[in-house]
Amino acid sequence: MSIQDTVDEMAPLRPENRHGTDPLMVLNGIRQEFPSSRGRTVHALDGVTLTVERGETLGIVGESGCGKSTLARAALLLRRPTSGEVFFDGKDALSMRGGALRSHRKRAQMVFQDPNDSLDPRYRVQRSVAEPLRAAGVSRADAAERAMAALAQVGVPEDAAWRHPHEFSGGQRQRIAIARAIATEPELVVLDEPTSALDVSIQAQILNLLLELQERQQLTYMFISHNLAVIRHLSHRVAVMYLGRIVEVGPAADVLANPLHPYTTALISAVPEPEATKRERIVLTGDLPSPASRPTGCAFASRCWLATEQCRTEAPPLTTTAMSEPGSGHLVACHRPAEAQEALASGLQLTA
Ligand SMILES: Nc1ncnc2c1ncn2[C@@H]1O[C@H](COP(=O)(O)OP(=O)(O)O)[C@@H](O)[C@H]1O
Ligand SMILES: [Mg+2]
């Protein structure tokens, strides 16, 4: 499949994308293998293809170990994938070197779950926030000024600049890490579980800050979380990952209100309801299979209540189905999407 076919198939229905799509980023067939103990290979990413549209939040959801952080690192060229392609603004990012790579890095930044991963404890906050600007060749004086502006945007007190990370609470530290990510005025920010380590009361404040920044600076987000409630709150489109693959992707309203993969259905049914609505829960038994011994058929078959012989032997491709809203880009990798959809009709109440 060519890149244009990939893009055409995955483009959502936003008006500007109906004809001739122009995504900010295209990930094509990304594989990431790691050697594991006993000479086996861990397939952390097993052919991930995704587009990230300009100005959207693409939510990526899946349980721990499914490859979300590995995907983030590949997308931002923090680790070269074993194979596959990364296109950013139409350009092949994996072939960039030297100055081209430096200016690319300015345009795509990352926020980690643990702010300590991007803030050096020995440095004053201003230096950490200015560091990506310095790396991009901005003069010391300009970088310092822009770091102060970024800190003002995330709402930390002005004197924070002269203090060290350990003097702040977890929430304030994450604000500072966000300031560092936006200081270069990037187009894309990849957020890898940015609120998962924070108190619930602080999580909402950080999510609201991210929404404000997105609107103010027209940021594109790839937002990674194992928490579907958070994904639902922020995302325009949602991609569901399972064992190194995308199993369902599409506009958030379609994927969350009309899930076609049994795994998505199970994730949704596990989200606690705000009111005491009666709803049957699907409880997944068993663990994620090991990415070092991927089953031949559908990786979800071992936990799926709909699995047949075909599911255990033949891996389903990620594709549109008769149940997808036409032209929506709602794709699913399942042999039995109609039955998965019926699971909802029979007792499960889902809200998007
Ligand atoms: N550097 C690494 N070396 C070996 N295995 C790794 C490495 N990074 C990740 N993995 C493995 O790849 C899989 C996906 O990990 P990860 O991307 O961190 O998942 P997630 O972020 O969804 O929890 C896991 O099985 C993990 O153990
Ligand atoms: Mg992770």
Percent of the chain at pLDDT > 70 equals 88
Q: In this predicted structure, which of 11-15, 131-135, 327-331 has the lowest mean pLDDT?
A: 11-15
Q: In this predicted structure, which of 1-15, 241-255, 268-282, 325-339 has the lowest mean pLDDT?
A: 1-15
- Report the predicted TM-score, pTM, of the whole model to 2 decimal places: 0.90
Tens digits of per-residue pLDDT, 4-33? 454 445 444 333 443 347 899 999 999 999
- Whether the CB-CB separation of 95 and 275 falls below 8 Å is answered with no
Q: Find the ligand nearest to 64 CA.
A: 1
Q: Whose CA is nearest to atom 24 of ligand 1?
A: 65
**Ligand 2 mean position, distance from CA 328 (Å):** 28
Q: What is the arithmetic mean of pLDDT over 101-126?
A: 95
Q: Whose CA is nearest to atom 25 of ligand 1?
A: 65
pLDDT value, residue 170: 95
Q: Find the ligand nearest to 73 CA.
A: 1
Residue ranges of domains in the chain: 3-12+20-235, 253-345
In angstroms, the CA 300 to CA 107 distance is: 36
For 3-12+20-235, CATH number?
3.40.50.300
**Ligand 1 mean position, distance from CA 295 (Å):** 18
Within 8 A by CB and 6+ apart from 109, the residues are 76, 132, 180, 181, 182, 184, 186, 188, 189, 190
Tens digits of per-residue pLDDT, 136-185? 999 999 999 999 999 999 999 989 999 999 999 999 999 999 999 999 99
pLDDT classification of 274: cutoffs 50, 70, 90: low
Atom in ligand 1 nearest the alpha carbon of residue 193: 21
Best residue among 34, 71, 224, 293 to mutate for probing ligand 1, ranked by most atoms within 8 Å of CB: 34
- Whether the CB-CB separation of 50 and 10 falls below 8 Å is answered with yes
159: tokens are 């004197």
Q: Find the ligand nearest to 290 CA.
A: 1
CB burial of 45-65 (b: ≥16 within 10 Å; e: otherwise) equals: bbbbbbbbbbbbbbbbbbeeb
Q: What is the arithmetic mean of pLDDT over 98-125?
A: 94
**Ligand 1 mean position, distance from CA 63 (Å):** 12
Tens digits of per-residue pLDDT, 277-313? 555 667 777 677 888 888 889 999 999 999 999 999 9
Atom in ligand 1 nearest the alpha carbon of residue 72: 17
Please check the confidence at residue 108 and state whether its pLDDT lies above 50.
yes
189: tokens are 């920010």
pLDDT value, residue 295: 82
Q: What is the arithmetic mean of pLDDT over 212-223?
A: 97
**Ligand 1 mean position, distance from CA 67 (Å):** 6
**Ligand 2 mean position, distance from CA 190 (Å):** 12
pLDDT value, residue 349: 45
- Tell me which residues have their CB closer than 6 angstroms to ligand 1: 34, 42, 44, 62, 64-70, 291
